[in-house]
């Protein structure tokens, strides 16, 4: 979702060639990854993770040319994620989706080698340590991304609020007002999750992300996913109209995260519960250190 050299999801500009302009694509903590659940062991030491989102902070919806993006006012701490693997509260900056073609899988992370139809990413940044999102995006602990899987089934009760607005941002570069939306309505009822150190999944692929990937998917209909595919990779002025689909990066190798005790990947499987107005994730946790 970030500016830079041209990139996309086609044969000539897709993930397989991103390393030509972004060498970090072959780095040691790249995302997404394949998560293997049975490799988790118990760790009771983690603090709870708390989500506090304010619907008044949503501002815009846009077509970035690679996804649909909902943006938030991140000038204060009204919408944050905190606790768990995070040392500070992280402010919500935006969320976006990745999806496949009709009837195809399109998630970025996989679980035991299995993909989901789509994946939602809520992107947060560390405003305690860094002055701007751009500065945080290049720091090892700068970003926290909450990943949510989408599987096909019945209509999702709240996703229509987004899909009904997609006609306003059909073309690359288009932007429209999008106010009063609380992303809490997109969370699953059970908030078990894994967390590990990784990267942005789109160029510039900075290795700056603390990932929190929810175990339980939300259910959306094929019709709702189909509305995402009405978006275009191309701008309104372009002659060639390319449907937006298969906008995902495949899982990356763990690589250097296996090399030594001082540079490892933690996969933490936390069982959680929610109560009250804030969503609080707390229970027994487990982790796997991959050396």
| pLDDT computed for residue 230 by the predictor | 97
Torsions phi, psi for 158 (to 5 deg): -115, -15
Q: What is the largest CA-CA distance in the chain?
A: 57
DSSP codes of every residue in 114-166: B--SEEEEEEEEETTT-SSHHHHTTSTTSEEEEEEEEEESSPPTTTHHHHTTG
Kindly give the parts of the chain with pLDDT less than 70.
1-5, 39-48, 256-291
Handedness of CA 234, 236, 239, 244 (dihedral sign): positive
Q: How far apart are CA 13 and CA 17, in angstroms?
A: 6
First to last CA, the chain: 31
Q: pLDDT tens, 239-291?
A: 889 999 999 999 999 775 432 112 234 555 554 433 333 333 333 333 333 32
| pLDDT computed for residue 272 by the predictor | 44
Beta-bridged to residue 285, according to DSSP, are 270
Q: Where are the beta strands (DSSP E) in the chain?
A: 34-35, 41-42, 49-52, 58-63, 68-72, 80-83, 90-99, 110-111, 118-126, 143-152, 175-177, 193-198, 209-214, 218-220, 265-270, 279-281, 285-290
| pLDDT computed for residue 273 by the predictor | 38
The pair of structure tokens assigned to 52 is 């506090």
Residue 42 near residue 222 (C-beta atoms within 8 A): no
| pLDDT computed for residue 85 by the predictor | 86
The third-level CATH classification (topology) of the domain covering 51-250 is Carbonic Anhydrase II (3.10.200)
Say what the pTM is.
0.88
3-state secondary structure of 23: helix
């Amino acid at each position: 979702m970030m500016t830079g050299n041209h990139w996309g999801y086609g044969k000539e500009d897709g993930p397989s060639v991103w390393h030509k302009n972004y060498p970090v694509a072959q780095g040691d903590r790249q995302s997404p990854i394949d998560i293997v659940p049975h490799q988790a062991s118990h760790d009771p030491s983690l603090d709870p993770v708390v989500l506090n989102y304010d619907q008044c902070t949503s501002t815009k919806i846009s077509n970035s040319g690679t996804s649909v993006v909902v943006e938030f006012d991140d000038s204060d701490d009204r919408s944050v994620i905190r606790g768990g693997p995070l040392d500070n509260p992280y402010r919500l900056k935006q969320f976006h989706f990745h999806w496949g073609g009709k009837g195809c899988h399109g998630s970025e992370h996989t679980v035991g080698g299995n993909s989901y139809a789509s994946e939602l990413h809520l992107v947060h940044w560390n405003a305690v340590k860094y002055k701007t999102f751009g500065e945080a995006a290049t720091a090892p602990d700068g970003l926290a991304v909450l990943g949510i899987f989408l599987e096909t089934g019945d209509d999702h009760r709240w996703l229509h609020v987004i899909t009904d607005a997609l006609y306003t941002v059909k073309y690359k570069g288009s932007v429209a007002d999008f106010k009063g939306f609380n992303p809490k309505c997109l969370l699953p009822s059970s908030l078990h999750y894994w967390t590990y150190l990784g990267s942005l999944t789109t160029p510039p692929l900075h290795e700056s992300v603390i990932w929190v990937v929810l175990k339980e998917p939300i259910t959306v209909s094929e019709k709702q996913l189909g509305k995402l595919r009405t978006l275009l990779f191309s701008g309104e002025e372009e002659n060639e109209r390319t449907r937006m689909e298969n906008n995902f990066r495949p899982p990356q190798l763990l690589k250097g995260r296996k090399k030594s005790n001082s540079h490892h990947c933690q996969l933490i499987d936390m069982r959680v519960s929610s109560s009250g107005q804030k969503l609080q994730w707390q229970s027994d946790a487990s982790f796997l250190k991959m050396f």
